Amino acid sequence: MKIFLDSANLNDLKKAYATNLIDGVTTNPTLASIEGYPSFEKLTHDILSIFTKPMDVVNFEVASLDAKTMIEEGIKLASLSKHVVVKVPVTQDGLIACKELTKRGIRVNVTLCFSPTQALMAAKAGAYFISPFVGRLDDQNEDGMRLIEQIKKIYTNYGMKTQILVASIRGPHHVMEAALLGADACTIPYSVFEKLFRHELTDVGINKFLDDWKKTKFKIK
């Protein structure tokens, strides 16, 4: 399963990238707005300078609502680098843009998905990724992971190639459930990334082993 960082924070992106355990990044207008970049050009430049390995994926989002402008913006974003995947919202215009961008060989991430039929339509429009937002569904007392299960079933039924990118992740439990359901990718905040490695029994175990090792006076030569 691919793991993307859901962030526009350069420090967090660099720290996560240095582990060689992440496959890319997703950004959105909200994430862009909180980092204090002087321009969108600076944001795209700085983020693209981090993700340089051949298979790295960098998701940038369009900022318009009509298909024509979304297509223009998508072409501009994709021209920045071969790593770019263009995010469009799952609206009628967004899917028209998705179809056209896909036809031009540009990979599209259809975002803000909250229902199985939206995911079905995104796949029909040729989306490279569908981004269902599980946390926001959980927030309003719906079952976010149930949506992933439904989309997986629909895509499997019809052999649809669109990859399921689980988004709006709130904790490691969402990553675990996404993996169990066979989702293709997760995008996670840095705080969740750090938690994926942690278990308190691992810390207890390490401390005990180190204490006991000191008692032995052994050395690894």
Contacts of 91 (CB under 8 A, 6+ apart): 65
Number of residues interacting with ligand E4P: please give it, by CB under 6 A. 11
Residue 12 in contact with ligand E4P, rule: CB under 6 A: no
Cα dihedral across residues 4, 5, 7, 8: positive or negative: negative
Q: Where are the alpha helices (DSSP H) in 51-165?
A: 67-80, 92-103, 116-124, 134-139, 144-158
Q: 22 or 167, CB closer to ligand E4P?
A: 167
Instruction: Tell me which of 87, 153, 161, 221 is the catalytic residue.
Output: 87
Tell which positions 161-220 bind ligand E4P, by CB under 6 A.
Answer: 167-168, 187
Choices 44-52, 75-83, 130-138, 173-181 (CB under 6 A): range interacting with ligand E4P: 130-138
Phi/psi at 130 (5° precision): -115, 135
Q: Which of 135, 149, 172, 194 binds ligand E4P (CB under 6 A)?
A: 135
| CB 102 within 8 Å of CB 108 | yes
Whether 152 is a known active-site residue: answer: no
Q: Is the Cβ of residue 89 or residue 116 nearer to ligand E4P in the bound state?
A: 89
Give residue 112's region: left, alpha or beta (phi > 0; psi -120 to 50): left
7 scored as a contact of ligand E4P (CB under 6 A):
no
Residue 58's contacts (CB-CB under 8 Å, 6 or more residues apart) are 24, 25, 27, 47, 48, 51, 81, 83, 84, 85
The radius of gyration computed from the CA coordinates of the chain, to the nearest angstrom, equals 20
Residue from 17, 60, 133, 155 touching ligand E4P (CB under 6 A): that is 133
Of 163 and 168, nearer to ligand E4P (C-beta) is: 168
Output the smallest distance, CB 3 to ligand E4P, in A.
13
* Residue 112 or 123 having the CB closest to ligand E4P: 112
Encoded amino acid at 105, one letter: G
Kindly list the residues in this chain that would bind ligand E4P in the complex (CB under 6 A).
Answer: 6, 26, 28, 111, 131, 133, 135-136, 167-168, 187
| Catalytic residue positions, numbered | 87
